[in-house]
Amino acid sequence: MTMNTLNISVISLCVLLFTGGCGLKTGAGKGVATYEYATITRGTIEKTVSSSGSLKPVSTVHLLPRMSGKVEKIHVDYNDTIHKGDILAELNTDMLRLQREQQLAAVVKSRANYELQLINYRNQERLAAKNLISEYELKTGKTTLDIQTAELSAAEASLRVIETEINQYAFITSPINGIVLERNINEGDTVVDSSSSNSASIFTLAENLDEMQIETGVGELDIASIREGQTVRFTLEALPGKIFSGVVASKRLMPIIADNVVSYTVIITVDNRDGSLLPGMTCAVEFIEERRENILLVSNAALRYQPVQLSTEAVADMVFNAGLQGMSEEQRQSNLAARTRTTQNARTQTTSTNGIAGLMMPQGGGRFPGDGGRGNSSNVPSSPQGGAAPRTLWFINDGGKLDLILVQTGLSNGSFTELRAARGSTDAELEGRRIILRERL
């Protein structure tokens, strides 16, 4: 007999699966059945939902220029750490400085016109007080003064705009503390201000890479299993062999429909203080829906096994008799009487059936081979306690013959299933028991 070790999950705990060959001839057939066995042991099992996604910074800023111009200097590069207010790049301001000189002259001219008109209007007010000019002339002078005042204000505002561009907008500064993810300009490039439709991002900044997030899509059939605060395990193609963990931060309600498949975006927060995770890395994600430790486990193949050398009636009898264990005498008699009535009714129905349908009914009454009668849990006697129908596990008893035991099943991860003792047995009797996994003739 050989011993193999099988992982039941990506977790470190495992279940030992014992397999071996045993030449055993059961019955009068010519074939000799060779069995492979599995041992019921204790371990940990998880039910998970799988998905994939990519790592992204929690917060990114796409920086656009606030004025058009030629790039004069660049002070940062990819991956540089920056602080709020740091100058990232400078734009050429030669033309702006010339415009400022022109605008300064315009301001001086507007102020001179304003001051002259102000003196003129004050003289008109004194003359109007003595009735030496008409009211129309006085109002005309006031209107001219208002115009000169507005022109002076406009000239001063234009000057402030130019000075703001020279002293502020020409310097591309960081609005956050973080890191430079992307630089899309070089010295000598011409950029367009953000108000234009032709403008493009010149820097991409990440606020903090110590904490990152995964954006992944979860199908509509699994999204109900995802909840905020749920533990997530993920691996990276770039870092094989390492397992990382995260927590579900939120799930977005807006569905994504592609090729008639509906999915929802789930955001997972990830700790990255060691700096091993980089933006854009592809992740294989597992949402841990449920986890149980120190429980009895068995391979799903053992639960599916049914002996081929036994007849349907023989299997049904064995399952029924196993189900009587642990019952009181009154319950046993009640179930035996119920089964007798069911068998008699089936035989009566078979006898009264005419034609091809009657000829096709299986002799012995009950089920066609393959209709689920072989070891089906419906053959188990009913119990007043109710509950989920038990399953069958097969083994070779001390007499060298096929035998079975009934068990209750629980959580499954697709490869292994949690076991609990059914009525008439205990968990202690299950642990360590060697059961049949499969057979070869």
pTM of the model: 0.62
CA 27 to chain centre: 53
Domain 51-58+212-293, what fold? Answer: Elongation Factor Tu (Ef-tu); domain 3 (2.40.30)
pLDDT surpasses 70 at 279:
yes
Alpha carbons 233 and 242: distance in angstroms, whole number: 11
Listed in sequence order, the residues at least 6 apart from 109 whose beta carbon sits closer than 8 Å to its beta carbon are 155
Alpha carbons 315 and 290: distance in angstroms, whole number: 35
pLDDT surpasses 70 at 368:
no
Alpha carbons 239 and 205: distance in angstroms, whole number: 25
Q: Give tens-digit pLDDT for 320-358.
A: 777 777 666 676 667 777 667 776 666 666 555 544 444
The share of the chain scoring above pLDDT 90, in percent, equals 58
Alpha carbons 418 and 41: distance in angstroms, whole number: 10
Mean pLDDT of 226-248: 93
Please say whether the structural domain 60-205 has been given the CATH code 3.40.50.2000: no
Mean pLDDT of 86-104: 95
* Cα separation values, 108 from 1, 122, 413, Å: 104, 21, 83
pLDDT surpasses 80 at 252:
yes
Alpha carbons 380 and 375: distance in angstroms, whole number: 9
How would residue 218 be classed by pLDDT, with cut points 50, 70 and 90?
Answer: very high
pLDDT confidence of residue 154: 97
How would residue 424 be classed by pLDDT, with cut points 50, 70 and 90?
Answer: low
On the 0-12 / 13-18 / 19+ scale of CB atoms within 10 A, 416 is buried
User: Where do the structural domains in the chain lie, given as residue ranges?
Assistant: 2-46+296-349+370-440, 51-58+212-293, 60-205
How would residue 369 be classed by pLDDT, with cut points 50, 70 and 90?
Answer: very low
Mean pLDDT of 29-36: 70
CA 241 to chain centre: 20
Average pLDDT, the chain: 83
Mean pLDDT of 145-155: 96
pLDDT surpasses 60 at 91:
yes
